[in-house]
Structure 1
């Protein structure tokens, strides 16, 4: 458990990000002991539930009118991104619900389902592939981002001022919660992971904590000795560790 706390202790959200959205909160969860290849089918059932939940939500109106989606569209505009072209991860998943959410691997499927069910952007990455702690900052434009375009591996760079998650080696996720790097992506071999839940108003701290609780409860089924630690980062608040 100490190792998980240590992994989160250096995580930072730079003041420039809170300058864009003072209501932003990042809830980071570090997990160890995962055996995602031994899934009991829970993730498949959860994804089907998430698809039904998304279809019900979208039957009431367009996706951009959902409160948390609308808040994230405003956040993207604040740093110069066009939400119609580069959608936050929550909106992208909700828009795919009608035709079916992606099936990637049990671990990724699980957190995608929780994201849709609670309508919060949620990313997961292989913690063992990190070099240094996660940091959310406004990019200089020099940070490398490894991705795939039209089947070819490519190193891109974020736009100046873009909000990005980074470690010491480069960008791990562009445009706050839009696209993750290949280097730290979860695979069927991942045993230790970090999950990042991104919240804006109107999502409350209690709703954010409940989402984290559900995620951790499901992750506990992916191995006989799964352990976790979490940390909440928000503007003007003291560090919190559980």
Structure 2
């Protein structure tokens, strides 16, 4: 069954021009990071350094657009950075990008190379449709703090991704909850690429195509479908 994704009118009114691209991948075989997934991350870090050419990630126009979007719904972009900026900063720092597992490495590499937020969800753990909404503050977000599971609530007006059970990602694309996270046992997954102007539609599609190829590289034989909302 194809997962339904919706973006609320409130979000579209607050941040006009937002668009996304979804990739469904089924029959995946995940596992610990390996030579292939590590190579994707190394190449992404090289491409990022070339793109920035000495600038900091927040000076990139697409990252700057995400910072403005965060400010629009009341978040502080220097304290809660969007996932693309946070990964880019790690890529440029000593130690570089973390190695998580083959699938996460693949989508993190695309995020860094294209400076675009990319998320991954285990399809078997999503309940009902996924919606991008402005939170009421009553929604539940299950996370882990101090090694123990805990429930938080988003701020009223905060932009969140949620399913029928609760919030799956807070502050748009800042922090994913562990409930739907991709792990070594994931076989079916949804990957979400999110963009704002000045990123063009062609650039978004190019990033999606590259992610599809990366998934095929780290998990040969997977059935991959690119879902273009337009």
Same topology, TM > 0.5: yes
Task: Give unpaired runs (5+ residues) of structure 2.
Answer: none
Structure 1 residues 24 and 130, CA, compared in 2 at 3 Å: closer, same or farther?
A: same
1:65 aligns with 2:59: yes
Aligned partner of 2:172 among 173, 176, 197: 176
Is the Cα–Cα contact under 8 Å of residues 34 and 102 in structure 2 kept in the other structure? no
Mapped partners of 2:147, 2:86: distance in 1: 21
Corresponding position of 2:200: 204
Following TM superposition, by how much is the alpha carbon of 1:229 offset from its aligned partner in structure 2, in angstroms? 2.1
Contact persistence 2:20–2:195 (CA under 8 A): yes
Alignment TM-score, normalising by the size of structure 2: 0.94
For the residues of structure 2 that align with 1:39 and 1:225, how far apart are their CA atoms?
A: 18
CA drift of 1:153 comes to 1.6
The number of equivalent residue pairs is: 228
Alignment of 1:20-59 (within 5 A): 20-37=14-31, 41-59=35-53
Q: Deviations over 1:191-236 (max 9, x none)?
A: 0000111100010111100100010111123444311223334xxx
Separation in 1 of the partners of 2:163 and 2:38?
31
Q: CA RMSD in A?
A: 1.5
Kindly state the Cα deviation for residue 149 of structure 1 after the two structures are TM-superposed. 1.8
> For structure 1, which runs of at least 5 residues remain unmatched after alignment?
234-239
Residue aligning to 1:237: none
CA contact (8 A) 1:34 1:222 kept: no
Match of 1:101 among 81, 97, 101: 97
Q: Tell me the SS of whatever aligns to 2:103.
A: helix
Q: CA, structure 1 residues 95+209, in 2 after alignment: closer, same or farther (shift >3 Å)?
A: same
TM-score normalised over the length of structure 1: 0.89
Contact 1:39 1:221 in 2 (8 A): no
Cα separation, 1, equivalents of 2:174 and 2:34: 29
Partners of 2:216 and 2:33 in 1: how far apart? 11
